[in-house]
Amino acid sequence: DIVMTQSPDSLAVSLGERATINCKSSRSVLYSSNDKNYLAWYQQKPGQPPKLLIYWASTRESGVPDRFSGSGSGTDFTLTINSLQAEDLAVYYCQQYYGTPWTFGQGTKVEI
C-alpha cells in the first residue's frame, strides 16, 4: 500500500494568515503517461463528511474558494490556505489514487 504521511499533525494559524500543510507519499503518485499526480485534498469539519477541495494535486473542485491551492509532484505535495478564514478551521486530509487501495493521510488539524 502507498502510505501517506502528513505534517504537521496540527497547525495553529491566525485569521488572515497563511496555512501550509504537507503530504508525502511512500512512492511517487505521478503517472508518467499523462503527467498527472494522482492526489486529492479534503476538508473535514466536526460531525461532517470530508469535502473535496482539490484533485489531480492542483485542480480546484467547483465552488471551492481560490484561497485554497494545491502544489507538488511525485512524492511531495502541499495544500496552502491563503488568508485563513474562521470557516477554514477543520482537519485536512490528502488521498492518493495512484494505486489500490486508495489511501489517506492521518490528517492535519488547522486551529487558531
Partner 1 sequence: QVQLQESGPGLVEPSETLSLTCTVSGGSMTTHYWTWIRQPPGKGPEWIGYTHYSENIIFNPSLKSRVTMSIDTPNSQFSLRLRSVTAADTAVYYCARGGCESSSCYHYWFDSWGQGILVTVSS
- Told to check if 69 binds partner 1 by CB under 8 A, we report no
Q: Which CB, 14 or 34, lies closer to partner 1? A: 34
Name the grid cell of 78. 502541499
* Cα→Cα distances 90→8, 12, 50, 57, 100, Å: 14, 11, 10, 19, 27
Residue with cell 479534503: 42
- Kindly state the smallest distance separating residue 51's Cβ from partner 1, in Å: 8
Exactly one of 13, 20, 28, 52 binds partner 1 (CB under 8 A); that residue is: 52
User: In this complex, which beta carbon is closest to partner 1, that of residue 75 or of residue 95?
Assistant: 95
Cell 491563503 appears where?
82
- Which three three-digit cell numbers place residue 12? 495553529
What is the total residue count of the chain?
A: 112
Q: Is residue 64 within the footprint of partner 1 (CB under 8 A)?
A: no
Given the rule CB under 8 A, which residues bind partner 1?
38, 40, 48-52, 55-56, 59, 61, 93, 95, 97, 100-107
